[in-house]
Amino acid sequence: MRRVDALKVVGEEADSEDAVVVVHLGFPARELYHVYDRPLNFYMLGSMGQSCSVGLGLALSLPDDVEVLAVEGDGGLMMNMGILPTIAQESPPNYSLVLVDNSAYDTTGGQPTPSERIDWKSVAKAHGMTYLRAEDERSLRDALRRALREEGPHMVHAVVERGNADVPLIDMTPHEIISRFMRALEKRVKDR
CATH code at position 163:
3.40.50.970
pLDDT at 147: 98
Rounded Cα distance between 170 and 29, Å, is 8
Q: How many domains would you assign to the chain?
A: 1
Report the phi/psi class of residue 91: left, alpha or beta, with left for phi > 0 and alpha for psi in -120 to 50: left
Adjacency order of strands within the sheet including 154-159: 41-43, 20-23, 68-73, 95-101, 154-159, 130-134
pLDDT at 110: 86
Domain containing 84 equals: 3-191
Q: What is the pTM of this model?
A: 0.96
Backbone angles phi, psi at 106, to 5 degrees: -65, -35
pLDDT by residue, tens only, the chain of 192 residues: 999 999 999 999 999 999 999 999 889 999 999 999 999 999 998 788 899 999 999 999 999 999 999 999 999 999 999 999 999 999 999 999 999 999 999 888 889 999 999 999 999 999 999 999 999 999 999 999 999 999 999 999 999 999 999 999 999 999 999 999 999 999 999 987
User: What type of residue sits at position 28?
Assistant: P
Asked whether 103 and 162 are in contact (CB, 8 A), the reply is yes
